[in-house]
Structure 1
């Protein structure tokens, strides 16, 4: 009798699991809901890109600082300029890929919304590793930054795979993830390797379908 009750309990759990899975995969077709997802995503991207520049600050200088002192202070910020530029390009390219994928979308599900939220979670976090690498620039900071960017790219690839978009962003996360072992040897070499995220754009600028892979 106890075995029968246990089996019945397992059956109810499986039924609940199946129902929840079907609910997560059930497609919604209302345009208003899809527009809200897109607007929310664009807002997160816009805020993240704006926050990237907030860490670029001059060190305290007297008002009487000479031109040479001010110029030297501006020049000393080059690691922050570099981290801002790379982050802006990477986030901008991921926004383009996200826009292309959702442009093909006519319906959505709760699972898609969850994947999108996870992706946006990392996008909103990116200003922090950008600030860290702009401040320190050592191997730990470089690996931390590359891992965050690589994770964002992998989540976007997973999101596009779920949408079944024709194009998937694999190149950007590959560049950042491959730079992690390189950072153990030379953090500066790893940083400059991130410029390879521009390769698809430079090699095929005339492709109408886009250049992010």
Structure 2
């Protein structure tokens, strides 16, 4: 295994930002530009533009999900003071799944099959879990900045990160019973995040 002990933390974060930027840019350039010959009427042009709405829905959803993971990524790394080889490998796996989010989102929006929902849920579960593992590893190896959090805050912050992964994973089983209920199940993430944020008094 390649040693990553010497990789500086600011380089790790910069690389992560580049991956996030690439993932969002990839979604944007994947939107199909409609063919608009000069002989079209304004009504036909408008119809062609309206036909792009499903693609923009996928773009918006992907942008939102990736944006949320980017925010959480920085909130965690803002509390870390140094890098570590295992944490960096976890980071690479995390970023790998980030690049799959747009694919999973497009597949989910364009199809209403249980298999496509499960695949998307697996991608989001893995992404959430790996981000939590980065935090847990930093916590267990004293890689956090000094005096930044109390022990109680650290435990609650850990739970705050794990809850989304549990909900995404739990929705997989629900999908085999009712795929719509499985989608609504994800909404539980919002109240849990609000509750833990208030209890930790942290972002």
Cα distance change, pair 133–151 in 1 and its aligned pair in 2 (3 A) = same
Per the normalisation by structure 2, the TM-score is 0.71
In 2, Cα distance between equivalents of 1:59 and 1:142: 28
Cα distance change, pair 136–120 in 1 and its aligned pair in 2 (3 A) = same
Query: Does the CA contact (< 8 Å) of 1:90 and 1:172 recur in 2?
Result: no
Cα drift, residue 132 of structure 1: 1.3
CA deviations over 1:49-101 (Å, ceiling 9, x no partner):
333344554777883473784586356x28x62x5444433322222222122
Query: Does the CA contact (< 8 Å) of 1:139 and 1:187 recur in 2?
Result: yes
Q: Does 1:209 align with 2:202?
A: yes
Aligned residue number for residue 73 of structure 1: 51
Unaligned runs of 5+ residues in structure 2 are 145-153
Q: Find the partner of 1:43 among 18, 22, 39.
A: 18
Q: Find the partner of 2:191 among 193, 196, 199.
A: 199
Query: Does the CA contact (< 8 Å) of 2:61 and 2:105 recur in 1?
Result: no
In 1, Cα distance between equivalents of 2:60 and 2:74: 21
In 2, Cα distance between equivalents of 1:199 and 1:137: 26
Q: Find the partner of 2:116 among 120, 132, 141.
A: 141
Query: Does the CA contact (< 8 Å) of 1:139 and 1:184 recur in 2?
Result: yes
Per the normalisation by structure 1, the TM-score is 0.68
Query: Does the CA contact (< 8 Å) of 2:121 and 2:168 recur in 1?
Result: yes
CA deviations over 1:110-130 (Å, ceiling 9, x no partner):
112111111111111222112
Cα distance change, pair 193–50 in 1 and its aligned pair in 2 (3 A) = farther
Q: How many pairs does the alignment contain?
A: 181
Aligned residue number for residue 105 of structure 1: 80
Q: Find the partner of 1:183 among 164, 175, 180.
A: 175
Describe the SS at the equivalent of 1:101.
helix
- Pick the structure with greater CA Rg: 1
What RMSD in Å do the two structures reach over aligned CA positions?
3.3
Cα distance change, pair 95–46 in 1 and its aligned pair in 2 (3 A) = same
In 1, Cα distance between equivalents of 2:136 and 2:192: 20
Cα drift, residue 40 of structure 1: 0.3
